[in-house]
Structure 1
Amino acid sequence: MSKVEVIRANSDLASRKRGKEIKQLMVAAYCRVSTDSEDRLNSYKSQVSYYSDLIQKNVEWVLADIYADEAITGTQVTKREDFQRMINDCMNGDIDMVITKSISRFARNTLDTLKYVRKLKERDIAVYFEDEKINTLTMDGELLLVVLSSVAQQEVENISANVKKGLKMKMQRGELVGFQGCLGYDYHPEDKSISINEKEAEIVRYIFQRYVEGAGGSIISRELENLGYKTKRGTPTWAETTVLGIIKNEKYKGDILMGKTFTLDPISKRRLENFGEED
């Protein structure tokens, strides 16, 4: 049998021009971390370093920019400044391709994911999701993207449900949730307790005494300003609504009512006054 010589492959495609230049794409990367803890910030820095190296090593790519939002919610793209800057640069023709780790990093809202993917696709700008290995310019249809983005949105909803459950359990144990003190009371975060602030309590007693005597909110607010009393925030101006809010606050009769408002859904984060829809 004749001796066979294997001619090893040359993987250096940069030298293979075939008489024309390789078309280089302006590639950007989008990174996001969802909290501002030290570990997450380290992760953020690692992502920036990773994508910088990845893009620079590919001879067909040119690094356009690294877009990164630190400690910004993933459910609302309007709150991510660098994301919006990236989309604007895409619309201005400065970017040919966007790389991101996963669909959930890009957006955890199905409508937002589809909206921006379609918007970029119309400009022939690809979005490549590394974990799912999806290139939006080459994939067949949008069904897979819809399914995966729906899964990412479901993850947010599950986390929200677990957080709500945890808060309700704290309320049932009598723990303070979302209360940072009010006029007449000081909040102690170390043991999550409250104590009377005697200096401010003098103002509270004056408000209730004058209200019992028949004075309205506007009269009491003017009297407080004339007496030189300051609000909890240290301002000398008193609004009628501030006075009436103190009078209506159940804490001044020894009760704490939790859950006065609730979040309608984790995507819009819209809060509503609780009229009995939630415990």
Structure 2
Amino acid sequence: MRAVIYARYSSENQRAASIEDQTRNCRRRAEAEGWAVVREYADAAMTGSDSKRPQYQAMIAAALRGEFDVLLLDDLSRLTRDSVEQEQTIRRLEFHGLRIVATSDGYDSQSKARKVHRSVKGLMNEIFLDDLRDKTHRGLAGQALKGYWCGGKPYGFKLKPILDSTQRDAYGQPARIGTVLEIDPDQAAVVRYIYERFVDGASYTVIAAELNGRNVPSPGSTWRRKTRRCGGWMNSAVRVIVRNPLYTGRVRWNVSQFVRDPDTGQHKRRRRPQADWHQFQEETLRIVSDEMFDRAKMRTQDRSNPSKRLKSGFRAKYLLSGLLVCGACDAHYVLADERSYACSSRLNGGVHACANRIRIRRDVVERAILDPVRQDLLSPDRVQAMAAEMQRQYVRSVEASQARSTALPRELQELDARLDRLRERLRTGDPDMEPDEIRAAIEGRAEAAGAC
């Protein structure tokens, strides 16, 4: 039988060798069973609650294509730590005839107790993740109450580690007991410029274009990107800065949380009740005055007309949303207005973010894509061919069902034939023995054969 191995570990703080350990356990089981391992899939430093793991999705796609017969895991938690996702995935794989074996926790999809086993294991895995999340949040709350910074590095500031010389880390150096913010003078000057230009009437896009024109590094210019286009300023970065009270020295923590949408699998930010917030004023972090921040806030409220949000590409969903790509910078084309698409980098960051100023009429590009579909895929000949193929698939399915029904134990088929002959002899009045006796004997043997 053909087997594949799926392995995973959760965070960058865990050992990369964990993948090798899991794979070794699975290969040992495959050798013991005589299975041929045809491929290995592994997701490194990815949480089990994320269903969009690339290798996980590749493994499922291969399973649905019938490329292997057995899925080997070290334990079920490597597959997923979401009990709903676990049940849906296992049912899909079992429906396609696959066997799932977890070497460490003993799960086997051919076991009679498999449903109880995976239900209990799935619940335990999900509770583990919830407990880990609560412990992490509790630890961060303790740091926040001590006045330490618990988030990432906001633009305009530096992260300063606080060391305790009486404690040592794993490398013998003074242990870091927390992190605080301190102002970055160069970036703070950019923040003040953004506020000044914004309250003077400049738009987010104009400010972003000006910063790009001056070659000012953006907040994301140091990110380790794999697919993102340029590292220039976008109007979204300007918008975040002019709305952040941290620049007035107002420190807030536990304001929001990310929750997973069960329909899309995406994590969305949700604001917590204000009673749960932890906030305090730290004047050493002030970059702009309260007056400047309030003026910017008033202007952001004036700009909150929903009809003006199309340029962001976040609100409206259209036929080609997320499918068109700029040939100059690889950014997505988004709806610039009701009638045309344009490069999002050009819209949000100006000419210095992307030199491509071409706009495409929405009706033209949609017609260019849909017309070939109508002419080729939905032509009468193609529709007739698809209908014929569907009919052939249905016939094959019926034939396969009939083949399974004829594959009953031979003895059971013979007993069915004897029952037919018995009915005929009873009808003609020529039984060899009492009818009730004959019927009871044959039906008893039929039940025994059917239970095999």
Instruction: Report the TM range for the smaller structure's normalisation.
Output: 0.7 to 0.9
Q: Aligned residue for 1:198?
A: 185
Give yes or no for contact 2:3–2:71 (8 Å, CA) kept in 1. Answer: yes
Q: Distance between the aligned counterparts of 2:95 and 2:209, measured in 1? A: 61
Cα distance change of structure 1 residues 248 and 138 upon mapping to structure 2, 3 Å threshold: closer
Alpha-carbon offset, residue 100 of structure 1: 1.2
2:261 corresponds to 1:255: no
1:178-189 mapped onto 2 (5 Å cutoff): 178-183=151-156, 185-189=157-161
Give yes or no for contact 1:106–1:113 (8 Å, CA) kept in 2. Answer: yes
Cα distance change of structure 1 residues 153 and 217 upon mapping to structure 2, 3 Å threshold: same
Q: Which amino acid aligns with 1:274?
A: R
Q: Aligned residue for 1:16?
A: none
Report 1 or 2 for greater relative contact order, CA contacts < 8 Å, sequence distance ≥ 6.
1
Q: Distance between the aligned counterparts of 2:195 and 2:60, measured in 1? A: 55
1:100-115 mapped onto 2 (5 Å cutoff): 100-115=73-88
1:160-171 mapped onto 2 (5 Å cutoff): 160-171=133-144
Q: Distance between the aligned counterparts of 1:30 and 1:223, measured in 2? A: 44
Q: Distance between the aligned counterparts of 1:133 and 1:238, measured in 2? A: 51
Q: Distance between the aligned counterparts of 1:96 and 1:244, measured in 2? A: 52
Higher normalized helix content (fraction of residues): 2
The worse-fitting range, judged by mean Cα deviation, of 223-232 and 151-160 is: 223-232
1:1-279 mapped onto 2 (5 Å cutoff): 25-37=1-13, 40-59=15-34, 61-79=35-53, 81-140=54-113, 142-183=115-156, 185-189=157-161, 192-209=179-196, 215-218=200-203, 221-222=206-207, 225=210, 228=214, 230=216, 232-233=218-219, 237=233, 239=235, 242-264=237-259, 269-276=267-274, 278-279=276-277
Give yes or no for contact 1:262–1:274 (8 Å, CA) kept in 2. Answer: yes
Larger-Rg structure: 2
Q: Distance between the aligned counterparts of 1:103 and 1:164, measured in 2? A: 26
Q: Aligned residue for 1:4?
A: none
Q: Distance between the aligned counterparts of 2:80 and 2:208, measured in 1? A: 52
RMSD, aligned α-carbons: 3.1
TM-score (normalizing by structure 1): 0.75
Cα distance change of structure 1 residues 243 and 113 upon mapping to structure 2, 3 Å threshold: closer
Q: Identify unmatched segments of 5+ residues in structure 1.
A: 1-24
Q: Aligned residue for 1:15?
A: none
Alpha-carbon offset, residue 41 of structure 1: 0.9
Give yes or no for contact 2:8–2:43 (8 Å, CA) kept in 1. Answer: yes
Cα distance change of structure 1 residues 242 and 135 upon mapping to structure 2, 3 Å threshold: closer
TM-score (normalizing by structure 2): 0.48
Q: Identify unmatched segments of 5+ residues in structure 2.
A: 164-178, 222-230, 278-452
Alpha-carbon offset, residue 105 of structure 1: 1.6
Q: Aligned residue for 2:336?
A: none
Cα distance change of structure 1 residues 266 and 108 upon mapping to structure 2, 3 Å threshold: farther
SS of match in other structure, 2:37: strand
Residues 218-267 of structure 1: per-residue CA shift (max 9 Å, x gap): 2894598188373543677563x544543432222222112232123698
Q: Distance between the aligned counterparts of 2:63 and 2:192, measured in 1? A: 60
Q: Distance between the aligned counterparts of 1:245 and 1:57, measured in 2? A: 57
- Paired residues in the alignment total 248
